[in-house]
Structure 1
Amino acid sequence: MVHRLPAAASLAEVHVWIRQQLAQMGQPPGTPTEAALHQAVRPCYHLEFEEVPDEQLPVAHSKFGGQPDVPPGWTWPRSPAGGPLRFLCQLRLDQLPGRTPDDDEPPHGLLSFFWLFHPDEQLIVEWWPQLDGLQRRPSLPPGGYAYRPRQVLARRTLSLVDLSVPSGLGGEEHDRFRGLWAQLSQSGAFEFGGVTLFGHVDRASYLSWAESALPRELCDWTLHDPVVNLLRLWSVAHLGDDVLEDTGDNHIYTPEFILRRSDLRARHFHRAHYELSVD
């Protein structure tokens, strides 16, 4: 009997499905295959945007664009060449739906992204645990640029990382892992949305970029310490020309802001990096 996975499966339902499939194969609980499949799936959020005037959004509300809400005395970040970074978005973590005590990300506070990809490349991710005292920054520094403000709407879902067979799995276990991973990926339980928060990195693009762009210590990505996409904007053209106005061409840019899962757990957001794919 083949057990079907619900289209909107929870993480617990996915784990039950994996156990059922392995039990049918005569596999006891706790095998390396089962552990690897569990780690290939993680909760995440898909984000949608609704254009709203900045003055209608409360301070510390989740939003894309507009002006950031920051602590008193905060200094606007700049690139190595001195240009002001762009405020991309801020996410109020206690507004995210369906959170559990086991989540890796902080349960509260404001996570804010500032970046610049042309002509300099720079990323700063700020996490402010306390919301009291935050205030809206009234203006940009000279030469700055603001994206149109949008309210962020989040919904809980699951992401599935595209893994090679983990080291140590050979023979029948190798085939078992690949077969079950293929069934998971084709089950319809995983959405691959345009904007994803706290999901998995797409392995193919990550590895091709890591060889040349990542610090050496981040190139040793293992299943036990995967890289998390803090924020992925897939096909960002739908955000409007304000995102693409300075690229000088017709390509679609896909930024993915990444962090090691261990650093996410330790709240080391200053170690985040980003990939900028071009389609």
Structure 2
Amino acid sequence: MTIPSALQTMQRPSLTLHITKKEPYRRGGTRFGGQPDVPPGFVWPVFTGTDDSGESETRPLSFLAQFDCAGLAPYDSGHLLPGTGLLSFFYETGLQPWGFDPHDAGCARVFWFPDAAVLDKAPFPAGLPEEARFPMRNIQVTPALSFPDWDDFLIQYPDVSDDEAFFAARQVLGTPVPDDGSKLLGWPDLLQNSMAAECELVSQGVNMGGDIMDIPRTVYKKAAQTGLDRWQLLLQLESKEDMNPELSFGDGGRLYFFLPREDLAARRFDRVWTVLQCG
């Protein structure tokens, strides 16, 4: 099989996100930042982690974005997302866990609220610093096709060695990274290595913060192959330090929210895993 043909077999639909001008409040609407719309009885998520001095700290998560699922449905050609309700994303932007440690569980949360009719704007919790409260912005959504980066492609086709032919084929297919690097679904646009094995192994309790050479090669390879098929990118979010310094992930990097496909199908968004990468 040629490289262009192989890429075609791996294509996935995605939704590119362009975060633009200030957005007036609209209950249940797709938007970045502001105050989230939540159902009665919602408990704002918190995360307990370790700061740079080694002290334990519990902080409320920052609200990042929410998506009107009914509004996205006409563009979600793979029918992966719920067809109704609201999907909301939170992350701890102060400590900014990287996602390679099983103890990072809970640093990011995704909520699906099936009944949009009962939602209302939530007040920010008192413990959430002003700098972790982000301005409300409009999100423009455009359907697109997504193809794997080199590292993910090699997991599927390990015998391919011609990276120049790969990148030439990607160019012909017209699959540039979105202008601001943000999208729903599709393949992740990598800033470092593939995250397939990382998601799979961390979910099994393996700390990936050390030397991956310490992991038996057969174990790592199997995890990469399983993870590539199993873990679906849910949201890729580019740094937005022009809006707020707290929105620089690492050093101008990206957040990647992943969910096992079986959990996405069952709407178990509490099983999301989030990884931070920066170049």
Superposition TM-score, scaled by structure 2 size: 0.71
- How many angstroms apart in 1 are the aligned matches of 2:171 and 2:82? 31
1:158 partnered with 2:148 = no
Compared with structure 1, are the counterparts of its residues 137 and 38 closer, same or farther at alpha carbon in structure 2 (3 Å cutoff)?
Answer: same
User: Does residue 88 in structure 1 map to residue 75 in structure 2?
Assistant: no
SS in 1 for 2:94: coil
**Where do 4+ consecutive residues of structure 1 move more than 4 Å?**
36-39, 177-183
More moved, 268-277 vs 91-100: 91-100
Residue ranges of structure 2 left out of the alignment (5+ in a row): 49-56, 98-106, 207-219
Aligned-residue offset at 1:217: 7.9
Quote the residue 2:225 is aligned against. 222
How many angstroms apart in 2 are the aligned matches of 1:100 and 1:276?
Answer: 25
In the alignment, is residue 137 of structure 1 matched against residue 105 of structure 2? Answer: no
Against the structure 1 CA distance between its residues 190 and 79, is the aligned structure 2 distance closer, same or farther, given a 3 Å change threshold?
same
Does structure 1 residue 256 correspond to structure 2 residue 261? no
Instruction: State the alpha-carbon separation in 2 of the partners of residues 111 and 187 from structure 1.
Output: 34
Asked if 1:118 is matched to 2:94, the reply is yes
**In the alignment, residue 175 of structure 2 is paired with which amino acid?**
F
Conserved in 2, the CA contact under 8 Å of 1:201 and 1:228? Answer: no
C-alpha distance in structure 2 between counterparts of 1:183 and 1:197, whole Å: 25
* Structure whose alpha-carbon radius of gyration is higher: 1
The change in CA–CA distance for 1:226 and 1:187 in structure 2 (over 3 A counts) is farther
Consecutive unaligned residues in structure 1, runs of 5 or more = 1-21, 26-32
Matched, 1:149 2:136: yes
| Residues 1:197 and 2:197 are matched in the alignment | no
Distance in 2 of aligned mates of 1:89 and 1:38: 31
**Aligned partners of 1:236 and 1:254 also within 8 Å:** no
d(CA) in 2 for partners of 1:190 and 1:260?
24
Q: C-alpha displacement at 1:79, in angstroms?
A: 0.7
The one-letter code matched in structure 2 to 1:149 is M
Partner AA of 2:276 in structure 1: L
| Percent identity of equivalent pairs | 25
Does residue 270 of structure 2 align to residue 270 of structure 1? yes
Work out the CA distance in 2 between the residues paired with 1:133 and 1:208.
Answer: 37
**TM-score normalised by structure 1 residue count:** 0.71
Which amino acid is the alignment partner of residue 166 of structure 1? Answer: Q
- Would you say the 8 A contact 1:66–1:149 is kept in 2? yes
Distance in 2 (alpha carbons) for counterparts of 1:243 and 1:259? 22
Change in Cα spacing, 1:272 to 1:189, as seen in structure 2 (3 Å) is same
Count, aligned residues: 237
CA 1:139/1:116 → structure 2, altered by over 3 Å: closer, same or farther?
A: closer
SS of structure 1 residue aligned to 2:59: coil
